[in-house]
Amino acid sequence: MEKLLNKAKDIKIIFFDIDDTLRVKDTGFMPASLTHIFEILHQKGILTGIATGRNLCGVVPEIKALHPDFFVTANGAYVIDKSDQVIYKQSLPQKVVLDIVEWLTSSSAEYVVYGADQVVASAWSDTMQSAIEPIYGQLPIDPDYHLTHDIYQMVTMSEHDDQLILPEKLSESVRMVRWHEHSSDIVPLNGSKAVGVSQVLDQLGLSVENVMNFGDGLNDVELFDLGGLSVAMKVSHPKILEMADYITDTVENDGIEKALKALNIL
């Protein structure tokens, strides 16, 4: 523990995942302590950021009300600061998007596309509803949205998602990250939350030793691997629990507050 406390002394910015880290995905519950926590961190001069697989429009108002300094969204593909200035953006090549759509259509799977400020579905179904509605509500339907907009991330959607295998030509450009039994994120081969967070660190002139990360899912793997101090929520995926420097309690049991106090940051 002494080693962790020493690492914690160097923390100058903390990034938080949203779902099941700051907020319970299925119910929307957020502990009342979070508002005070973010205020204290700001008073102490520690910057804060959101690092999420969600599109920017999926960052719900109650998260924005915490006034984080940075938003790393779409698994690192679209990054802005609190003044809405774009720090980094990396859309998928249009040819890759077209190939993904062709593959999923031929595989009897639906898809969701992330524009810069909108999330659109190819169709709406019970499967789509069970996975997507808790995060975004019901999405607009437009199977051709990708033809006229830059796409920063795609999401597969099917009852047989665990059987979907990227064609070889696509596996050279993108990878799949499972986040739901019926759905996977499709992100650039080298794209991740870690890429977006690194862009923020570069802008601030900070090193990885100055960053702390809270997360729970497989899209946090690269971020935990980046360095700094990584904290996993109690309900995290086993791989995240294995990678974490520290494991804290659940959202409902004030896991964020407990970890920050245990590490002498609060």
**Alpha-carbon span 261 to 266, nearest angstrom:** 5
**Alpha-carbon span 71 to 54, nearest angstrom:** 10
Q: Which one is catalytic: 17, 20, 220, 254?
A: 17
In the structure encoding, which two tokens stand for residue 3, read together?
Answer: 């080693």
Kindly list the strands in the beta sheet with 174-180, ordered across the sheet, starting from the edge strand earlier in the chain. Answer: 119-121, 110-114, 153-157, 183-188, 174-180
* Residue at token pair 């802005």: 80
Q: What is the DSSP letter of 159?
A: T
In the structure encoding, which two tokens stand for residue 238, read together?
Answer: 């086993």
φ, ψ (nearest 5 deg) of residue 119: -120, 130
Strand 153-157 and strand 183-188: pairing? antiparallel
* Catalytic site includes residue 17: yes
**C-alpha distances in Å from residue 75, one per residue of 98, 114, 127, 191, 196:** 20, 11, 22, 7, 8
For the chain, where are the E strands, in sequence order? 13-16, 47-51, 70-73, 78-81, 86-89, 110-114, 119-121, 153-157, 174-180, 183-188, 211-215, 229-232, 246-247
DSSP one-letter string for 60-74:
-HHHHTT--SEEEEG
Active site residues: 17
